[in-house]
């Protein structure tokens, strides 16, 4: 019986409209400090009115990104503050396997026959060539 209930949910959701959200960005200035946040506000529930029960984990994440309606100039009270710093990493330009393939292309002899210094120089040359190939 459980499978039929799941199928019924999917079929209902297929014929319903998408949920509609407004993207919201809020910047609060308090003295010399400025706080920014972004999220979304629900405008129309759409298929989520039927399908919400089965996606509880996603709903918890979405609830964190949902913001209340705010009006410009409205006084706000601080409920909580989370200090968070995010870093981004550039995509890796090469993998070890790709470097070894490039080294084998550049090599004049077997990789095992190179001395440490020669191998290191070949490694650097392979990195440089892969970097130049991507430009």
| Domain match, 61 and 103 both | no
CB 61 within 8 A of CB 39: no
> Could you tell me which residues come within 8 angstroms of residue 35 by beta carbon, excluding any fewer than 6 positions away?
27, 28, 29
Is 110 within a domain?
A: yes
Domain-embedded: residue 104: yes
pLDDT digits (tens, 9 = 90+) for 50-88: 765 545 555 555 555 567 777 888 888 878 878 888 888
The string of pLDDT tens digits covering residues 13-30 is 677 778 788 887 888 888
* Residue 78 covered by a domain: no
pLDDT tens-digit series, residues 107-121: 877 877 878 888 888
Residue 76 lies in a domain: no
In a domain, 83, yes or no: no
Retrieve residue 78's tokens.
């601080």
Assign 34 to helix, strand or coil.
strand
Asked if residue 81 is part of any domain, the answer here is no
Tell me how far the alpha carbon of residue 31 is from its chain's centroid: 32
With respect to residue 103, please indicate whether it lies within any of the assigned structural domains.
Answer: yes
Would you place residue 31 in the very low, low, confident or very high pLDDT band (cuts 50, 70, 90)?
Answer: confident
Give the domain extent around 57: 2-65
How many separate domains does the chain show?
Answer: 2
Which one is predicted more confidently, 50 or 128? Answer: 128
């Amino acid at each position: 019986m459980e499978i039929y209930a799941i199928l019924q949910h999917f079929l209902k959701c297929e014929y319903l409209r998408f949920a509609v959200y407004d993207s919201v960005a809020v910047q609060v200035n308090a003295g010399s400090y400025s706080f920014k946040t972004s999220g979304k506000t629900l405008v129309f529930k759409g298929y989520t009115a039927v399908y919400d029960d089965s996606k509880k984990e996603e709903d918890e994440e979405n609830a964190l990104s949902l913001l209340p309606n705010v009006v410009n100039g409205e006084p706000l009270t601080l409920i909580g503050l989370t200090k968070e710093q995010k870093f981004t990493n550039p995509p890796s330009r090469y993998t070890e396997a790709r470097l070894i393939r490039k080294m084998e292309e550049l090599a004049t002899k077997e990789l095992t026959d190179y001395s440490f210094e020669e191998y290191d120089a070949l490694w650097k040359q392979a990195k440089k060539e892969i970097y130049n190939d991507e430009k």
